[in-house]
Structure 1
């Protein structure tokens, strides 16, 4: 999940609490080229005010026009865009693809509030869930996700859909450096919630990135705090300062983070592994979890190239791809 989806559900919940009816849209499936993946969300009010996105803009424009015209008053439905509008709106995507969108009406009532609260709880990393939506009767239920699998699954007779909801992507960057600044910007663009930690006053003065949570404390303190690192979290240390990087790694291996990495050459990484075993008490399995050196081997030299390699490797692991599959 993307951090944008957290913002979407937060705003939808706020609107419902304020007495507003909300329409929640979820991408169910894509065909060919499509700008948003299944599971991505957008929320809107009847007056056209909205948050989130479904495409590059053309779909949102059509949907909001229909909403403000009052043609989407049904409780639950599916709209198909692209493919010359076959079976749905006459909107063709510039990329030539197609997608299906689940549209749900959440009236301003306690049941809507409860559903959105649990959904937000899941997105914030506390619980992995499956939303089951009855496309015929309109019932919505939430269940613990115990099996995993595709983000969106349609029932063979198209009568229902189940949508897996889990922790939104989060990146914790230990330490400020030229690489970490660019890495933070890349990650924010990719939809990650980004937290940067560094207790050094000179580092704090040189960090200026809009939309990023900066915390002037040791990264290890943040990483080790309950609830901060969940299964959708990546942790990277990018300073070349062992006092920051090593402590961050020692805490990170005790979390369910899906990616842990630290910057440095192969020689530096070997020395760090020895320190972490000797001084940090890390086991061989702990060391194996750490990507040292961090990132894909792209021959990177500049801070921007290194940051690109770091984020590319994080996305690779997030997508479940082995290095040899690239």
Structure 2
């Protein structure tokens, strides 16, 4: 699913001070971490992969978590599972808000600790809980995942990026300790197509982008998906939701037409409504990325 060239001209950048500080602190904490839980957004698994992840993980065990599985279709999940396995990775799909898939993530993290404690035992040392860190872009569901792993709400969670500001350890069980880290994001978003997808999914701060540009891009992505990958989207999501067919229109033209049709010509309100409806799943389970054809 590619986005038209027009939108790449709009530069999206977001790197608030608390994220820069968090990244510096994270590097210090990583020295004592055994396992990295990398959380990505299942709608955009590539755009929510941090380019520094391999550097941070090093030789540690990494558990790949694709959250928000509830807002993609089963065939999209299957396609990503196959693609990641072809890359030598096993993805764990979760809906952290509801708890789906979380037990498997916990088991994967604890399994990594077995080897660590075997080594400690061989040196005459007592076993200790596995130390895991949860890393990912803002608003991908890290805090919700930790709360589910713990079984009670200890970490503030909200549907906006940048809520978690401090690094803190949370004891999950006798076997597992988790470090909840604030969302991390590249200092510079070199890939503007990925930046657009982050904005559509509300995974970067709202101040960094123009709602109308991003909403128009969303329409174009949905149209592109309907044309090229119809099996991975619900049927006619925009027409079903707004009773206005986007087929003959560009994303920008559809935004203006929808504003006239339903929102008294208020294009900004229309853009915000479109984005909110997508983010809440009101348009149906729509992925913005599918596995690359290799």
TM-score if structure 2 supplies the norm length?
Answer: 0.28
TM-score if structure 1 supplies the norm length?
Answer: 0.26
The structure with the largest helix share of the pair is: 2
Larger radius of gyration: 1
